[in-house]
Amino acid sequence: MGFSMDNSNSPTQSHYHTHKVFLFCNYILLGAASSCIFLTLSLRLVPSLCGFFLILLHILTIAGAVSGCAAASSGAGKWYGAHMVSTVLTAIFQGSVSVLIFTRSIDFLENLKSYVKEENGVVILRLAGGLCVLIFCLEWVVLTLAFFLKYYAYVESDSTNAMKRSAKVQEEDMKDWPWPFQV
């Protein structure tokens, strides 16, 4: 029990912790999106086109979280672009749906053509809206963590080049620049 000046936060250790938090956030996204699917199915909105698109949005959220887990586990960069695009799109749509649910619950419920009583349907819809807000926030956290993971992978890929690790401009490089840039 004391204050330690141990500098044990190496890039690989921070990369490891970021990777674990990234996977944890994706697992929470999987759970929240599947819970939203079950909540929207409990509204009995099968014949509705809006209901189909709402369920499709949650399925795309699950697919984005799974691709994020696959990208983080494999370490390959080919999943990174697809994960970022799907995460941004689902975050935007999840935020829009949550605003729509909380501001116009009754109108949104009428467009879903639900067979559930209006009072019960509004409660279920607002529960799904709360999960949509959680998903929206977690999507942006996942985006930030994915960016950091890609940065750590870039820095660690070529550890012999010290210029990548430092933001300082080397003095030798400044001598070759034109006069206005030599400050």
Nearest CA among 140, 126, 135 for reference residue 88: 140
Q: What percent of the chain has pLDDT over 70?
A: 73
d(CA 75, CA 84): 15
Tell me phi and psi for residue 51, to 5 degrees: -65, -40
**Angle value at C-alpha 154, between 150 and 157, nearest 5 degrees:** 130
In contact, 43 and 28? CB cutoff 8 Å:
no
Q: Which residues contact 58 (CB under 8 A, 6 or more apart)?
A: 33, 34, 36, 37, 40
The CA distances from residue 96 to 71, 114, 166, in Å, are 27, 20, 40
Q: What torsion do the CA atoms of 161, 162, 166, 171 make, to the nearest 10 degrees? A: -110
Q: What average pLDDT does the segment 85-97 reach?
A: 89
d(CA 36, CA 63): 14
Output the pLDDT for position 172. Answer: 55
pLDDT tens-digit profile of 141-183? 988 888 888 887 777 776 545 444 455 555 555 666 666 656 5
> pTM of the predicted model, to two decimals?
0.73
Q: Tokens for 57, please give them.
A: 């949005």
Element (H, E) at 178: none
Least-confidence region, from 93-97, 122-126, 152-156, 173-177: 173-177
pLDDT tens-digit profile of 47-74? 678 888 888 999 999 988 888 777 776 6
